[in-house]
């Protein structure tokens, strides 16, 4: 079975960045790879590498499951599950750590970034990439759709898999990242030098998929641009406008060039109003589908089925890995 694996942390409401960099790509990939099975999970074990409020975490987990489905994922070739409900992920993380070097982990930019913001750094934040590598290697993923920021974690996953294969014979699939051409790095609306993130304390920095229309419009109209007043794409000198053009391109399937041609003689206000309209229209069906899913109570059944399917595959892999390592005993 060919597989595609990815996860999202339940660390807050889903925003346009995660949608364009990750979820929307899954939807496209499901069409592109109908013969692959998709294992998508809510990475709650990753979320607790930083202290979280338990009640908020539980709420976000369920919401995230509904959002994934509301964004248009088909259920036929999909197993959607919660990472902590498949214990093989924790087991695999430990085994992977046995093949991961301190020096490799020390080079991870996400660790350096996140550690800097913590008073006390948990060991699990440091070993985070080993858990992530395990998530992927358990299912022999061919492809892993992620945003640009996860590239380094995919590289370390490939290195670890190759190292284990060299030692024990080829039994892990070395995965390839799939990073979208447009939308791989959507930037904050208030500071276009940093990526749009769920954990940014400034709510004005992002648009959440479930935001009300008036809020969406407000966020876009107040997004940081520049004082030149001319519309063209220049990421280095006009990062705020470039980000908005990218969002328009990703949501309307128009190229950046054609957007710039359309707006070359128009002002920022007109462009922003049109963009707000495009964002509002794109999110309408997602919001409607989300409400349906929340009301009809089907999420739990989908998550139960996903858990069973994931456990079947993952437990086999753990048993095989244990055998390779000489762990446990041979039964008569
Ligand atoms: P946090 O802010 O809590 O660290 P996050 O916003 O980075 O979370 P994740 O859940 O860790 O989001 O990421 C889910 C997926 O979405 C990953 O594949 C990630 O690369 C992608 N992604 C997240 N933010 C963006 C963004 N601004 N632009 C493009 N892709 C993104
Ligand atoms: N680390 C990722 C989330 C994540 C993931 C994964 C993505 C956890 N495990 C496995 C792809 C495959 C993040 O922070 N966005």
Q: Which tens digit of pLDDT belongs to each residue from 300-330?
A: 999 999 999 999 999 999 999 999 999 999 8
179 CA to middle of ligand 1, Å? Answer: 12
Instruction: Specify the residue with its C-alpha closest to ligand 1, atom 14.
Output: 8
pLDDT interval class at 183 (50, 70, 90): confident
Which residue has the CA at smallest separation from atom 9 of ligand 2? Answer: 132
Ligand found nearest the CA of 154: 2
Q: What is the whole-number distance in angstroms between the Cα of residue 307 and the centre of ligand 1?
A: 23
Q: Which ligand is nearest to the CA of 7?
A: 2
Residue 113 Cβ < 6 Å to ligand 1 = no
> Exposed/middle/buried for 164, CB within 10 Å: 0-12, 13-18, 19+?
buried
Dist. CA 218 → ligand 1 center (Å): 23
pLDDT value at residue 297: 85
Instruction: Kindly list the protein residues whose Cβ atom lies closer than 6 A to any atom of ligand 2.
Output: 5-7, 9, 43, 46, 132, 135-136, 144, 146, 150, 153
Residues 244-300: tens digit of each pLDDT? 999 999 999 899 999 999 999 999 999 999 999 999 999 999 999 999 998 988 999
Over residues 168-194, mean pLDDT: 93
Closest residue by Cα to atom 15, ligand 2, is: 8
- Rama region for 183: left / alpha / beta (φ>0; ψ in -120 to 50; rest): left
pLDDT of residue 305: 97
The sign of the CA dihedral 235, 241, 247, 251 is negative
Cα 154 to averaged position of ligand 2 atoms, centre (Å) = 9
| Residues 72-102 pLDDT 10s | 999 889 999 999 999 999 999 999 999 999 9
Q: Residue 173: pLDDT above 90? A: yes
Structure token pair of residue 231: 């519309």
Going by CA atoms, what residue is nearest to atom 18 of ligand 1?
A: 146
Which of 13, 149, 175, 206 gets mutated to test ligand 1 (max ligand atoms within 8 A of its CB)?
Answer: 149
- CA 194 – ligand 2 centroid, Å: 19
Q: Is the CB of 149 within 6 Å of ligand 1?
A: yes
Mean pLDDT of 100-128: 96
Give the model's pLDDT for residue 30.
93
Full-model pTM: 0.90
**160 falls in which pLDDT band (50, 70, 90)?**
very high
Q: Please report how the helices 128-137 and 109-116 are oriented relative to each other, as an axis angle in degrees rounded to 10.
A: 140
- Ligand 1 in reach of 186 Cβ (< 6 A): yes
Active site residues: 114, 195, 198
Query: Looking at the predicted structure, is the pLDDT value of residue 182 above 80?
Result: no
Looking at residue 72, its pLDDT comes to: 93
pLDDT tens-digit series, residues 13-69: 899 999 998 888 889 999 999 999 999 999 999 999 999 999 999 999 999 999 999
pLDDT at 180: 83
The pLDDT of residue 181 is 82
Structure-block tokens of residue 312: 């079947």
Q: Show the DSSP H helices in the chain as ranges.
A: 16-18, 24-32, 44-47, 54-70, 88-97, 102-106, 109-116, 123-126, 128-137, 151-168, 213-221, 239-252, 256-263, 268-296, 299-325
């Amino acid at each position: 079975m060919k597989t595609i694996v990815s996860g999202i942390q339940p660390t807050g409401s889903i925003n346009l960045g995660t949608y364009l960099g990750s979820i929307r790509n899954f939807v496209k990939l499901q069409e592109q790879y109908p013969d692959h099975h998709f294992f998508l999970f809510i990475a709650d074990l990753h979320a607790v590498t930083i202290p979280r409020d338990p009640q908020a975490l539980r709420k976000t987990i369920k919401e995230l499951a509904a959002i994934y489905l509301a964004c248009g994922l088909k259920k036929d070739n999909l197993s959607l599950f919660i990472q902590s409900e498949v214990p093989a992920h924790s087991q695999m993380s430990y085994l992977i750590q046995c093949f991961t070097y301190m020096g490799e982990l020390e080079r991870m930019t996400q660790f350096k970034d996140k550690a800097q913001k913590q008073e006390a750094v948990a060991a699990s934040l440091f070993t985070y990439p080993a858990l992530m590598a395990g998530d992927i290697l358990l299912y022999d993923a061919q492809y892993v759709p992620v945003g640009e920021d996860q590239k380094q974690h995919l590289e370390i996953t490939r290195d670890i898999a190759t190292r284990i294969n060299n030692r024990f014979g080829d039994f892990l699939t070395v995965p390839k990242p799939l990073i979208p051409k447009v939308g791989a790095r959507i930037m904050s609306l208030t500071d276009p030098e940093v990526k749009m993130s769920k954990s940014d304390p400034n709510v004005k920095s992002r648009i959440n998929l479930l935001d009300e229309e008036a809020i969406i419009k407000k966020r876009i109209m107040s997004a940081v641009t520049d004082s030149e007043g001319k519309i063209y794409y220049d990421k280095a000198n006009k990062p705020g406008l470039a980000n908005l053009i990218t969002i328009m391109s990703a949501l309307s399937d128009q190229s950046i060039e054609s957007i710039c041609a359309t707006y070359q003689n128009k002002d920022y206000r007109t462009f922003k109003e049109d963009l707000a309209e495009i964002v509002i229209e794109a999110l309408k069906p997602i919001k409607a589908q989300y409400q349906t899913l929340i009301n009809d109570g089907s999420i739990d059944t989908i998550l139960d089925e996903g858990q069973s399917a994931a456990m079947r595959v993952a437990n086999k892999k753990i048993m095989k890995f244990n055998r390779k390592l000489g762990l446990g005993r041979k039964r008569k």
